[in-house]
Each structure stands twice: as C-alpha cells, then as structure tokens.
Structure 1
Amino acid sequence: MALATPPDLSDSAVPVQPLARTYPRGLYIEPHQHEWGQLLYAVSGVMWVDTPNEALAVPPQRAVWLPPGVPHGIRVVSDLQMRNLYLPQATASTLDSTVQVLEVGRLLRELIITLVEQTDEQPAYSEALLSLTLLELQRARRTVMKVPMPDTPDRRLLNLCQSVMANPTLDIAFEQHAENAGASVRTLARLFQGELGMGFAQWRRQVQLATSAAELIQGVSVSQIARSMGYSPSSFSDMFRRELGVSPSLYGQGQASGAVL
C-alpha cells in the first residue's frame, strides 16, 4: 500500500498545481483527501477510484473530478501514466460540488497534458490554458458508470467487495468469497442488503459492467472480456445488452468514435 505525495498545496494563490506520476499495476493508494480540488486523469491504463460510497472504473477516455475534501483511494488495474490537476478552492468552486466522471475528448486531453508539461515562463499562456481547460471541464459529458460501496466498519463486507473488484469473474462463487472474507453466506447476504440495498449477484453484475465498459473503451475484444469474467461470449453479450440497452461491440465502437450511447 502507498500514499501518493501531492505537490505543495500551501499556496492558494497558485491557480493550478499539475502532477505527473507513473503507477505500476496492483498499486493501492490508500484513502486520503486534499483541501484542493483534484482532477484525476490517466493517459494510459485503467484504475478504480474509491470514494466514500461508490467506486468508479476509469479508463483513459475518462477523468474523475474530486471536489475539495473528498476522501479517495486508487486501485491501479494496469500500469498508469497519470496526469493530475490540483485546483485551489476558489477555482474548484467553478466546477461541480460532487464527484463526477467526465468524458475526455481530444481537446480536453491535450489541454490537461499541456498544463502538466508546460513551465511557468509564460504566465499569460498558462492562465489562458487553465481558463480553456475549466470551460472544457464544465461542458464535458458526465457518465454514470459507478458501483456502490459499503460505508461500514465491518471489514468482511469491504474485503469481499474489494476482492470482487480485483477479479469479478463468475468462476468464484459467493460461498468462496464468503469463506475468504471469514464470514457466513447468510451474514454477508444480510450485509449486502443492509449496506448496499441489493444482493451479491446484482452488485457483482454492476462491477462486471463497469469493468467491461472500461475494457471495451481500451479496445479489448468482447470474447476476451467474456472469458475473463466466466461467461460465454453470447451470454456475456446478452447480459450487457439487457443491463445497458446496447451490445458490447456497439458500445465499444460508439465510445471509440465519440458517439453518445
């Protein structure tokens, strides 16, 4: 486990603090929070961002906006090339007051990367870049691929949820997850209903959908995703279409072309 070291956030007069980091697959950044707002964006790789009541699957065509003071942790699914922007409270107040997953188009992507890479030698240029970036963040399409997470001191439920997020395959039964978590099936079933308002199968299906969507955006084939989750390609496609109203292949094609699905 590790905690990311942010840039110096003591000077609120600074309009933006950029950060470039590389994180290896499997790294877990423990929950923490900042007085500044934070835009999390990875130019490559996939991550789960954990917030108090939900987890967000984030591929490269998505970014996460975290308002000031929101606790968050990061689970690195594949090697990440991270580009972050920290915004002081006055600037952060121009964006959403709640956690958002944003679609990152070509212009926004280049703006984020340029803000991180540029120097302080041309302050007027930097100010213009930031202003345009904020406008693009305000108009970026919001997405809803979120997975509810338990807010409970009972580590057994949280450990089970984290285990499923790391490997959401059908090949691992609820009974096996319960045994690994050190609790009975009945106890965990009751915790799922009480904390998350749904059963284990429905919750795991949401994890599978979020994971699948992230992988489809990355260009992973439908058959490969299906096999990794314990489905046949046809049964996986049926599940995906039933839940999201579109086939996984069309979803991947639409996201790649920027179409709204």
Structure 2
Amino acid sequence: MNANELIQHLSDHQVVSKIIDLPANEVEEWHAHPWHQVLFPTSGLLQSNIESKSIIVPHNGMLFIPANTLHKSVSVTKTQFLAVYLNPQSPVNYGDNPKSCLVTPFLKELIVFLVEHGLDNHTEQMTTSLLCVLRDQIAIAEHYEIPLLLPSDRRLMAIFVELNQQPDLALTLAEWAVKVGASSRTLSRLCAKEFNQSFAMWRQNIRLVLSLQLLEKNISIQNIALELGYQSDSAYIHAFKGLFTQTPSQYRKKYLLV
C-alpha cells in the first residue's frame, strides 16, 4: 500500500507511518501527499527536491514537507528512511514551511517511536500531546545546509559512483579525466556549472557527507580519516569543521548515538 492509499485508509487518524527501503540511485519521481510528511533516513543518504529547492538529507537529518507540496527524492546510497505522515486536520498546527534540520537523539527516538508503536494506539489526547512535542522539536531543531552531491552529467556521475564506493581513491583530476573520457577542463567546467564549486571541493564534500555514517560507528576519528583518504586526522577535522562548523567529535557527541 503506497503512502496516499495508507492515508486514505486511515484518514481518521492523526498520524500514520511506514518504513521505506531504496537501493542506491533509486528515484522517487515528483509526487505530493495530502498530509504533512517527516522524512528521516535511518541509514544512507537522500538528495531531495522540494519544488525548486534541492536538499541533501543525511541519515541523521530530516526533512519536513508540508501537505500537498511537490517533492522528489533520489537515494545517493542504499537508504532506509522512516516516513511519518501527519494529518493537517489534527489539533496540532505544524505550519506550512518546509524545513531540513539535524536530528537530536531525543527527536530520533520520538520519530522511531511513532513508526514502531503508532500513537493512535493510545488515547487521542496523549497522541495530540506527543505530536505537539514532535512539532516543537522540529521547530527548535538546527537547520543545516549541505552542498549537493549528485550530478546530472554522466561523466561526473561515473566519478561519483566510484567515490561513493571507495572514497579514498586518490586519482588526480587529470587521471579522472582520462578514466571517464573527458578533459580536465571539461570536468572543472561541469563542476562549476552543476555545483558552483571546484572539482576538488565537490570530491571533498562527498567524502565528508559519507563520513557521517562512519561517525555513528565505533571507529576512531583517525581511522575514519584514513578510510576517507585523508593523510591525517587533523586534515579531516579541518575539512569537516569547514563544512559543518564543528569538529567530528563534537558532531558525534551532539547528534549521533554511538
């Protein structure tokens, strides 16, 4: 049963949910739901479009999509996400503005509880109260901006697929150019056009976003740096802080359960 059929079937509920598994590079084409949606990857990575805006949703981030808003998602890697649908006729006012935000351990547990247990198994007042907590947690959650990763050009996509599987690949721009059948100048021009950044910065952002999944595991910062292809943990920490405005250890402590 797809999401809109589920919503129609349970239209008297305040909240319904489902777990969705996507293989890498799976595309969920443009669609909308009559209810608000909370989209939360528990593993993997999504690149989503909400109308004209594109957003990266990591496994410790979430996206709030207002009811009847057109959106589209692509799984950057093999991804599982929790989809929570919130009835706009509920006593809880969720607002009409999309939001991408980082998920604290408390907010994660609340979303997981919604999916695993369902709040409509309880009294309507308890359901309303807990959904108010959800709304408030989303409202105070920190917004984030992660640069886009997925290219539309087939040559850049070939590079992305390899880096996604082996982020420590140390090929130079010239070596990548030979490998994918393009000139170095062409690859540089394509990165500037698609991402408004250099090839080196795009490659670094791929590594840094992939590192978010490694940070949830019991792996030292030094070993994560080496796995990503950095020459030292200090180089990785410096690059991570440049994108996420905090060190990997601070990020791990604040947002990840390890």
Q: TM-score, normalised by structure 2?
A: 0.74
Report whether the alignment pairs 1:252 with 2:252.
yes
Q: Where does residue 109 of structure 1 map in the other structure?
A: 108
How far is the alpha carbon of 1:85 from its aligned partner? 0.5
- 8 Å Cα contact 1:66-1:98 kept in structure 2: yes
Task: List per-residue Cα deviations over 1:18-71 (Å, max 9, x = no partner).
Answer: 0134x48x544313243124322245xx31111246552523x43233443121
CA–CA distance in structure 1, aligned partners of residues 208 and 137 of structure 2? 27
The Cα of 1:221 is off from its aligned counterpart by: 1.6
Aligned position for 2:127: 126
Checking the alignment, whether the CA contact within 8 Å between 2:37 and 2:85 is kept in structure 1 is yes
Classify 1:90/1:164 alpha carbon distance in 2 versus 1 (closer, same or farther; 3 Å). Answer: farther
In structure 2, the residue matched to 1:209 is 208
Question: What RMSD in Å do the two structures reach over aligned CA positions?
Answer: 3.5
TM-score with structure 1 setting the length: 0.73
Deviation at 1:223, TM superposition (A): 1.9
Q: How many residues align?
A: 244
The AA in structure 1 aligned to 2:204 is R
Mapped partners of 2:155, 2:214: distance in 1: 28
Aligned-partner Cα distance in 2 for 1:93–1:166:
42
User: Is residue 2:156 matched to residue 1:157?
Assistant: yes
Q: How far apart are residue 150 of structure 1 and its match?
A: 6.3
Structure 2: which amino acid aligns with 1:74?
A: S
Q: For 1:152-190, what per-residue CA distance to the aligned partner results, in whole angstroms no more than 9, with x for missing partners?
A: 5x4333443454344332423333433444433221211
Q: Conserved in 1, the CA contact under 8 Å of 2:191 and 2:197?
A: yes
Q: Quick one: distance in 2 between partners of 1:227 and 1:151?
A: 26
In 2 relative to 1, CA 229–113 (structure 1 residues): closer, same or farther, beyond 3 Å? closer
| Distance in 2 between residues matched to 1:244 and 1:109, nearest whole Å | 20
Whole-angstrom CA distance in 1 between matches of 2:141 and 2:243:
24
Structure 1 portions without partners, runs of 5+: none
Q: Which amino acid aligns with 1:63?
A: M
Q: 2:27 aligns with which of 15, 18, 30?
A: 30
Give the corresponding residue for 2:5. Answer: 8
Within 5 A, what are the aligned runs for 1:42-121? Answer: 42-43=41-42, 46-52=43-49, 54=54, 56=56, 58-59=58-59, 61-67=60-66, 68-77=69-78, 80=80, 82-87=81-86, 94-95=94-95, 97-106=97-106, 108-116=107-115, 117-118=117-118, 120-121=120-121
* Conservation of the 8 A alpha-carbon contact between 1:150 and 1:195: no
Residue matched to 2:185: 186
Q: How many angstroms apart in 1 are the aligned matches of 2:231 and 2:166?
A: 17
The one-letter amino acid of 2:32's match is: E
Cα shift at 1:230: 1.5
Code of the residue aligned with 1:248 in structure 2: it is: P
Deviation of residue 201 (structure 1)? 0.2
Aligned partners of 1:62, 1:239: CA distance in 2, in Å?
20
Percent identity for Structure 1 against Structure 2: 22
How many Å separate the matches in 1 of 2:109 and 2:253? 22
